[in-house]
Structure 1
Amino acid sequence: MSKPVQHPPANPGTASPPYRPDPAIAVLADWLGDSVAAADFPETQLRWRNDRAAASVGLGGLTDPEWIAHFGRFQPLPGNLPRPLALRYHGHQFRVYNPDIGDGRGFLFAQLRDGSDRLMDLGTKGSGTTPHSRSGDGRLTLKGAVREILATEMLEALGVHTSKTFSVIETGEALWRGDEPSPTRSAVMVRLSHSHIRIGTFQRLLALEQADEMAALIDYCLTQFPGPPAPADAPGRDEPAIRLMHNVVERMADLAASYMVAGFVHGVLNTDNMNVTGESFDYGPWRWLPAWEPGFTAAYFDHAGLYAFGRQPEALHWNCGQLAVALRLHADTAPLVAALERFGPLYMAAVARRWCWRLGVVPQGVEADTQLVAACEAAMRENRAQPDAFFFAHRGARGGATGALGEALAAYQPVADTHPYWEDPAPQSLLIEEVEAIWDAIAQADDWTLLQSKVAALRRMGAAHGAAPKPAGHA
């Protein structure tokens, strides 16, 4: 029997915050979700235990049997939700409105505070059927869980605001899927997220004309996920719905920028996959770019390229527009449109800010930094460069670039890089061939060492990059 993947807390030697349960969503539960029970799995074999994430919410001290009891058998955490809650929502899926969705193979299990006093959710994937499962089996393949580990670890290392893969437990069922060899192994996954409130949650309340419930949800979001005030000249800036709209637009613009600078393609940017906190989550057919190609798609079923790499900012902007439509239940159109129109400038500023961070140079201002971005993109397109290799080669304006790129880089001052990662012969990346090799070792020989080594390498890369820069005015 192989051992579970385990990792130390984020800051060894420092005290972890205490466990602080706070099931704040209980005040909305009667109309926001359905009380459900987890599936009774034939096995519960611990495969992944994210001790770094667990330490951040006071759960790092759980023993393995306690961990399995809570995250494999879903015994309630002390002082938390007495029963899991399968959330209700609608959404645009590839821009087709679908009212027949909701948590079909997952639920909200618990809420608790982290060391920064943020309200965090523990939610599941593959935990069994719910009233929203339709014809699905409510399960998750082990391969899907492994892919989510890899996606979240790589994204976190590249500064993307992402959910954390908290736990993976193999469940001993043989699943049949049309998009991978079957039967295949099964798992139940727990993710640590900063909210599970979606744009699609608001769309459902609009469709049902539940104005009182939407007012309560707006208040919940503003209370639990506060953001900076709207600009001083923004119309209706003090109205709750307008405040929320500004917050979401700022967060989504930064999320879109973070995807682009990371060279990441999410694949399924539907409104039911859009968290109002701007946190990326729910990873299915994701990919990292093998070369800088705006038309690159991740999902084999995205025939029109709606969510291609280069169209991701457009997709997130469109999704913000759907939130504006929903919030018309509580606000006039003009101030909502004014908030939505901020997306473009906020996105450009976020790309410039994050690009300089990843390139390891001191920013000079949005106008100059945008010109640097354009020169880098042109060089990558011309040379068919893999983005991870490009950023690594030119980190700190090094790399001997010539032509327009060389001129653009020459004007920039490098940041001080002292981490030994920057002296490695090659950077970390996560192309599909490596993902498949990591999975093959598990599938063929139950060998988890490649996954363990990759996670350690990605965390080392994350330490070398340091924290991504935040927008002005954000704590």
Structure 2
Amino acid sequence: MTSLADLHFDNRFARLGDVFSSRVVPDPLNNPRLVVGSADAAGLLGLNPAEMEDPLFTELFSGQKIWKEAEPRAMVYSGHQFGVYNPQLGDGRGLLLGEVVNPGGEHWDLHLKGAGSTPFSRMGDGRAVLRSSIREFLASEALPVLGIPSSRALCVTVGDNPVYRERKERAAMLVRLARSHIRFGHFEFFYYNDREDDLRRLVDFTLQTCYPYCQHEPQPVLAMFRTVAERTMHMVARWQAYGFCHGVMNTDNMSILGITFDFGPYAFLDEYDAGYICNHSDHAGRYAFNRQPVIAHWNLACLAQALVPFIDVEVLKAELGNAMPLYEAEYRRLMNARLGWAGQRPEDDELRNELLALMQGSAADYHIALRLLAEDDPQARDQFIDREAFDRWLVRHRTRQAVDESAMAGRLACNPVYVLRNYLAQQAISAAEEDDFSEVRRLHQILREPFIRVPGQEAYAAPPPDWGRRLEISCSS
């Protein structure tokens, strides 16, 4: 294990220079306290989790101190926001502190979110609030346990600095980990500014650092795009299978690694609603739950456009044509696993869609219904209004379902008992805003092992109370 003082930095992105990022020093929090930390994320850095108890940990990750080897940089990029191109965005409230090399030789970006204003803050204060930091921390650490690729979160700290959003709040900082923070929007920025030489440098850097194996292909950039497309569509298939809504799928929020990135007004489904919109600013429903696969494909087309200088247009069109079938195949595989259906059969789509239609018509709880089906619990029937229709579906389902004990274990292993519902996050946030961090920490621990029912944790597996249904979440939440 490595100590805080011995973290090894190799700041490859910073070495690209000021064309790609600007040096910015974090604006520290006043009187910082550690809200929550992740031992799992610390392990990715090779950091001993006991280091989180050291006051130095809080000082470093609240901007009060900085390693001399770190080179904090605010990245520049652009992107399509709600379908409209914005020519310059960038890290408006975040800083890439540096790249840590763990004992296994892996590079991990150490990113401080809520670090104060940068050249890209666009008149904002560059701060993050406690509620948004807690929400991103919880999601970053909950999604990977469900098999959904995601950035990770090391910790959240809070200070006494006032921040004004819908109301007066306190500033917080979140430390995000990812193998890279390069987004689709990075490529768009240099493409739309006709800076082909810089775009080539970015492409070469991404190949070297993120996709070195693609360099050995006859067309390395094409191989990279093909891999990004596959990873992105597989990620979205997992969102759909597990009822996760990202909420703001702008191209500047799409990772070149194909991981879930830049959490804002996200939500897990409660009752099943294919058209659910979790972002209260998304008035047209562009990023509704059932539109996520189409939007991911649209975003890949934006990335493809930025790579036109290096790949033939017709070749890119062919690759884009392969993207949706990749999604569909992965989604079928995941849902068949959740339902306990071995292999693939022609009638599966119809049978699965019939179940989802019954859920929609009954406002059935998506997660509870699937878990009860996995357990062969007769209470699954209570989730549905048209019980006779459900009974008819269940007969066909049981004919299709594998019934041996290993199949049952497999179903339980991919149908969570505990899910990061909005109301659970809100309860933890409300306590934390009163300086009680125990509920954030407890919820984090429960979500680390979501597939096993634990006595005494029944409240965390319950459907939301009336006040907790369809909570409105904003981009600052």
- Fold similarity call, TM over 0.5: yes
User: How far apart are 1:433 and its partner, in Å?
Assistant: 2.6
d(CA) in 2 for partners of 1:380, 1:174:
44
Aligned to 2:203: 218
* Matched-pair contact (CA < 8 Å) for 2:117–2:126: yes
**Identity in percent:** 31
Q: Which amino acid aligns with 2:331?
A: V
Question: SS at 1:124's partner residue?
Answer: strand
CA distance 1:371–1:222, shift in 2 (3 Å): farther
* Matched-pair contact (CA < 8 Å) for 2:35–2:158: yes
Q: Which amino acid aligns with 1:24?
A: R
User: How far apart are 1:227 and its partner, in Å?
Assistant: 8.0
* Matched-pair contact (CA < 8 Å) for 1:106–1:127: yes
TM-score normalised by length of structure 2: 0.84
CA distance 1:411–1:357, shift in 2 (3 Å): closer
Say what the alpha-carbon RMSD is for the aligned residues.
2.9
Question: SS at 2:170's partner residue?
Answer: strand
Aligned to 2:140: 152
Selected match of 2:277 from 294, 297, 304: 297
**The 10-residue stretch of structure 1 (136-145 or 348-357) with the greater mean CA deviation from structure 2:** 348-357
Selected match of 1:242 from 219, 222, 240: 222
* Matched-pair contact (CA < 8 Å) for 2:95–2:112: yes
Matched, 1:442 2:422: no
d(CA) in 1 for partners of 2:212, 2:241:
23
Structure 2 gaps, min length 5: 381-389, 454-477
Question: SS at 2:286's partner residue?
Answer: coil
CA distance 1:303–1:272, shift in 2 (3 Å): same
Aligned to 1:386: 365
User: How far apart are 1:368 and its partner, in Å?
Assistant: 5.8
d(CA) in 1 for partners of 2:184, 2:119:
20
* Matched-pair contact (CA < 8 Å) for 1:16–1:56: no
User: How far apart are 1:117 and its partner, in Å?
Assistant: 4.8
Aligned to 1:376: 355
CA distance 1:241–1:463, shift in 2 (3 Å): farther
Question: SS at 2:161's partner residue?
Answer: strand
Q: Which amino acid aligns with 1:65?
A: P
Matched, 1:205 2:186: no
CA distance 1:37–1:280, shift in 2 (3 Å): same
* 1:314-325 matched pairs, under 5 angstroms: 314-325=294-305
Aligned to 2:257: 277
Q: Deviations over 1:69-98 (max 9, x none)?
A: 3211264447x43x2010000001101111
User: How far apart are 1:110 and its partner, in Å?
Assistant: 1.9
* Matched-pair contact (CA < 8 Å) for 1:219–1:240: no
d(CA) in 1 for partners of 2:19, 2:39:
34
Selected match of 2:243 from 246, 249, 263: 263
CA distance 1:30–1:355, shift in 2 (3 Å): same
d(CA) in 2 for partners of 1:223, 1:95:
30
* Matched-pair contact (CA < 8 Å) for 2:420–2:447: no
Selected match of 1:185 from 164, 170, 176: 170
User: How far apart are 1:167 and its partner, in Å?
Assistant: 1.4
Aligned to 2:322: 342
Selected match of 1:59 from 39, 47, 52: 47
* Matched-pair contact (CA < 8 Å) for 1:42–1:171: yes
Q: Deviations over 1:406-459 (max 9, x none)?
A: 41343232545669x88x9x922333333222222222x422222222112111
User: How far apart are 1:101 and its partner, in Å?
Assistant: 1.0
Matched, 1:163 2:148: no
* Matched-pair contact (CA < 8 Å) for 1:20–1:58: no
CA distance 1:269–1:162, shift in 2 (3 Å): same
d(CA) in 1 for partners of 2:175, 2:322:
35
Q: Deviations over 1:387-423 (max 9, x none)?
A: 111221111666576323441343232545669x88x
User: How far apart are 1:229 and its partner, in Å?
Assistant: 6.5
Q: Deviations over 1:322-364 (max 9, x none)?
A: 00100012221011111111111100111122223444x3640
Structure 1 gaps, min length 5: 1-14, 231-236, 465-475
Q: How many residues align?
A: 436
CA distance 1:118–1:319, shift in 2 (3 Å): farther
Aligned to 1:471: none
Question: SS at 1:335's partner residue?
Answer: helix
